Structure 1
Amino acid sequence: MRKLLAATLGVLSAVGGFVDIGDLVAASQAGARFGMAHAWVLLLGVVGICAYAEMAGRVAAVSGRAVFDLVRERLGPRVALLNLVASYLVTVLTLAAELGGVALALQLASGLSYLLWVPVAAAAVWLVLWRMRFQLMERVFGLAGLALVGFAVALFWLPTDWAALGRSAVHGGAAGQGWGAYWFVAVALFASTVSPYEVFFFSSGAVEERWSAADLADARSSVLIGFPVGGFLALSLIATAAVVYHPGGTSPDSLAQVAQPAVLAFGAAGLAVAALAFFAVTFGAALETGLSAAYAAAQYFGWQWGKWVSPREAARFHSVLLVSVLLGMLVLLTTVDPVTLTEYMLVLSAVVLPLTYLPILIVANDRTYLGDRVNGPLANLLGVVFLLVIVVASVAAVPLAVVTGMGR
């Protein structure tokens, strides 16, 4: 139980990255269109995010400072400002998409238009960010997000051809959809699993929890339990969509259709579980993105920050939190479709990935901050290989989006 509770920071970080509104859509569409042919993308994402989250957690535990806090000091204000602007833009727009996901989950449960729920969702997210303690927040929403395991259970109730699923994972390909679309979906799914805000949130959360060098074992447990769990939940979404939609050649384009495998397996109970799971993961991701935006700004400018600090003592940090939530709400009130916004955000997220991960690799090798706790050969090998993959995805994202018409 102690290990499980220690892992909730990783679970919440992974829920925000692997099964937020972006992955609910991307994973389900990938399974519907290509079967299990993109399972390797999730595996790659899990390995990569574990490598970099471990670095970020170790930096925070040993130095007592979050990664972004060290980026400006290590790389200089100009490079850090570019990092800040890019990450803040992506994070706030992702926050808007997550608020839309919360509103869509409430629409699924109530039947009322999601636009009516947008202000409610924004107010609820702000209230939790303002009043709830960090550790309680991570445990409530990190563990509530595990309701998505219902999709894994649904595989045993649905008429699942396990041999066919296995073959499509090992030998799957474009499945008649075209290789351009296949690789666009791969890049989008990859970007959804390694979203920039994940490592900023994880690192800052480690500081919030006052991790020290003595907590490195718990830090690794948080990474090695939390992020694989997120990958497993995303894989369940791919698999159930592959079973329900792929044989008929259709693809889900709404949250209600993403929930359909659970409904077919369990009826009204399945719909209730899906609605609860969607609400929990998108609400948790909204908390994560809101905090990440404020963490990055406060750490760059050297402001007092953190939920453990009273709002009066960290007024600028809490002001950025409020402004970020309001901006996200205003984006949605333009009536932009949250699912469409999510698709474009995944492309933009892929483009800025190198700005997030290269500084982490640099800081994790700096003895000024880490002493003898710097990366070893294996961590550096994984970090460099994964960084090369990130660069390839970043370069390919926009051309693939243009050539394939956003993968269609």
Structure 2
Amino acid sequence: MKRLLGLALGVLTAIGGFVDIGDLVTGSVVGSRFGTSLVWVVVVGVVGICVFAQMSGRVTAVSGRATFEIIRERLGPRAALANLSASFLINLLTLTAEIGGIALALQLASGIAPMLWIPVAAVAVWIVIWRVKFSILENVTGLLGLALVGFAVAVFLLAPNWDQLVQQAVSPFLHGPPTSESAATYWYYAIALFGAAMTPYEVFFFSSGAVEEHWGPGDVSQSRLNVMVGFPLGGLLSIAIAVSATLVLLPRGIEVSHLSQVVLPVAEAGGPVLLIIVILGVFAATFGAALETTLSSGYTIAQFSGWSWGKFRAPAKAARFHVLMIVCLLVGVGVLMTGVDPVEVTEFSVVFSAVALPLTYLPILIVANDPQYMGDQVNGRLTNALGVVFLGIILVAAVAAIPLMFITKAGA
């Protein structure tokens, strides 16, 4: 029973990390424009995040310390500062997108303009972080986020031609990218989808969450179980979102520019009941991601600076940690109140996430191979081989992201 309950951290990280506003929007955009021809990117992203998340979780379980603390100690303050700068700025951009995502979800449920919901969303996130225990936070948000399974239900209710979907998914390997879009646009969205899958805050939240849960060396297997269940679950939900858009939006030439278009396939397939369930899932996923990104902002700065941190400590005993999170929420609200489109913020956040990936994941690979911290739990040959392969993919994505953004005018 303890092991089953412990899966909540993996489920929360998957629902609030893999299937956040970034994946909801990017998955639907990709499905509406490219069909299932980019599903392979989700599979690659799932494997990649599993490889590095299990490293990060194992480092924490064995050492009893969050990954970022060890990165600063192992690599020195300069290298850790580069890691911190890239990760924190992307995290702040993602937090802004998630607050906007909560407001858009509440707009779907109420019809009230999202601008009025933005401060409400930020206050609600802060109250939960301030008053709710970590275990309750992860259990409730993660389980409610499972309502996104409604996208998978919608796919089956739409009764697709499965052979056609599979052929479309494998066609890039046989015939190259679809001719309906330019190759540059195809690869731009491939990088965006990859960035949405491997957002940097996921591993820092997972590692810090393990400290919050007081994991020890005996919890290494629990860490692996969380990773191997949580992230593949998020990947399947992401694929369901893209496939539902393929079935309903692509044939009609509808390009996604609003969250209401993301849930349109659900409304068509299952009617009001399924739509209500999925809107609940969208709210839970974006709210969970806002909690994760807010906490990750505090975790990274506090761990780098040597501050007292964690929800297991009273706010008065980790004052700077909590004040920093308030500041980050206020920055996110301030950006959104300028009238910027949350969907556009989301699209930029997932692309810039890809740019920051090398600075996030290389230090994790180094620490996971250091016997001073890991003892006999250092990476094995297979894990290192996969880590090196994915670092190569990450580096290519990081180098190509910005040029492709300019060439394609952000996928326009």
TM bucket, shorter chain: over 0.9
Distance in structure 1 (CA, Å) of the matches to 2:26 and 2:93: 17
Q: 2:272: which partner in 1? A: 268
Q: Per the alignment, in what secondary structure is the counterpart of residue 49 of structure 2? A: helix
Q: Give 1:331-346 correspondences, 5 Å limit.
A: 331-346=335-350
- Residues 296-335 of structure 1, C-alpha deviations (whole Å, 9 max, x = no match): 0000000111000000100011111111111111111111
TM-score normalised according to structure 2 size: 0.97
Q: Give 1:286-365 correspondences, 5 Å limit.
A: 286-365=290-369
Match of 1:202 among 198, 201, 206: 206
- Residues 66-112 of structure 1, C-alpha deviations (whole Å, 9 max, x = no match): 11011110111111112112211111111010000000000000000
After TM superposition, give the deviation of residue 272 of structure 1 in Å. Answer: 0.9
After TM superposition, give the deviation of residue 11 of structure 1 in Å. Answer: 1.4
Q: Per the alignment, in what secondary structure is the counterpart of residue 248 of structure 1? A: coil
Q: Per the alignment, in what secondary structure is the counterpart of residue 375 of structure 1? A: coil
Distance in structure 2 (CA, Å) of the matches to 1:348 and 1:31: 21
User: Cα–Cα, structure 1 residues 4 and 241, in superposed 2: closer, same or farther, change >3 Å?
Assistant: farther
After TM superposition, give the deviation of residue 35 of structure 1 in Å. Answer: 0.7
Residue 226 (structure 2) pairs with residue 229 (structure 1): no
Q: 1:401: which partner in 2? A: 405
Residue 180 (structure 2) pairs with residue 176 (structure 1): yes
One-letter code aligned to 1:203? S
After TM superposition, give the deviation of residue 21 of structure 1 in Å. Answer: 0.6
Distance in structure 2 (CA, Å) of the matches to 1:217 and 1:67: 18
Q: Which moved more, 1:78-87 or 1:103-112?
A: 78-87
- Residues 211-269 of structure 1, C-alpha deviations (whole Å, 9 max, x = no match): 01111111111000000000000000011001111223322211000000110011111
One-letter code aligned to 2:45? G
One-letter code aligned to 2:20? D
**Contact 1:33 / 1:175 at 8 angstroms: preserved in 2?**
no
Q: 1:4: which partner in 2? A: 4
After TM superposition, give the deviation of residue 3 of structure 1 in Å. Answer: 3.9
Residue 163 (structure 2) pairs with residue 163 (structure 1): yes
- Residues 327-351 of structure 1, C-alpha deviations (whole Å, 9 max, x = no match): 1111111110000111111121111
TM-score normalised according to structure 1 size: 0.98
Distance in structure 1 (CA, Å) of the matches to 2:262 and 2:127: 29
After TM superposition, give the deviation of residue 37 of structure 1 in Å. Answer: 0.6
Distance in structure 1 (CA, Å) of the matches to 2:185 and 2:273: 35
After TM superposition, give the deviation of residue 151 of structure 1 in Å. Answer: 0.6
Distance in structure 1 (CA, Å) of the matches to 2:296 and 2:377: 25
Gaps of 5+ in 2: none
**Contact 1:20 / 1:98 at 8 angstroms: preserved in 2?**
yes
**Contact 1:34 / 1:175 at 8 angstroms: preserved in 2?**
no
RMSD value, Cα: 1.0
Q: Per the alignment, in what secondary structure is the counterpart of residue 370 of structure 1? A: helix
- Residues 177-198 of structure 1, C-alpha deviations (whole Å, 9 max, x = no match): 1111110000000000000000
Distance in structure 2 (CA, Å) of the matches to 1:324 and 1:358: 26
Identity %: 56
One-letter code aligned to 2:182? G
Q: 1:27: which partner in 2? A: 27
Q: Give 1:2-401 correspondences, 5 Å limit.
A: 2-172=2-172, 173-401=177-405
Distance in structure 2 (CA, Å) of the matches to 1:398 and 1:310: 42
After TM superposition, give the deviation of residue 391 of structure 1 in Å. Answer: 0.3
After TM superposition, give the deviation of residue 175 of structure 1 in Å. Answer: 4.3
Gaps of 5+ in 1: none
Distance in structure 2 (CA, Å) of the matches to 1:20 and 1:356: 19
**Contact 1:298 / 1:317 at 8 angstroms: preserved in 2?**
yes
Q: Per the alignment, in what secondary structure is the counterpart of residue 53 of structure 1? A: helix
**Contact 1:6 / 1:221 at 8 angstroms: preserved in 2?**
no
Q: Per the alignment, in what secondary structure is the counterpart of residue 180 of structure 2? A: coil
